[in-house]
Amino acid sequence: MDDDSTDTARRTDGRKGLKLSPKQVVGLVVLLLVAIFCAQNTGRTEIRFFGGEVDSPLWVWLLAVLAVGVVVGFVLPFGRRKD
């Protein structure tokens, strides 16, 4: 089968542009807000945790907390149906 025929079929199916689900739109908005928040909070900060101290830019901590939240969201099955 010719590749041009599949491209033509794709072009004539009536859909144009990128189709995003509501979940993807919310994810992109959150990502944009996080990027703006990190860009505005670049000052150095000292974090104390269990007796240890680490000094680094605030945006590093913000991204670390976001990453932990994403991992926890994928690992914990709360609110998901078991099929």
Tens digits of residue pLDDT in 19-41 = 878 888 888 898 898 888 878 87
% of the chain with per-residue pLDDT over 90: 1
> CA separation (Å) from 52 to 48, 49, 63, 65, 67?
6, 5, 20, 17, 21
pTM equals 0.52
Contact 49, 38 (CB under 8 A): no
The pLDDT assigned to 29 comes to 92
Report which residue type is found at 12: T
Contact 54, 47 (CB under 8 A): yes
The pLDDT assigned to 3 comes to 55
The pLDDT assigned to 11 comes to 53
Residue 57 has pLDDT above 80, yes or no: yes
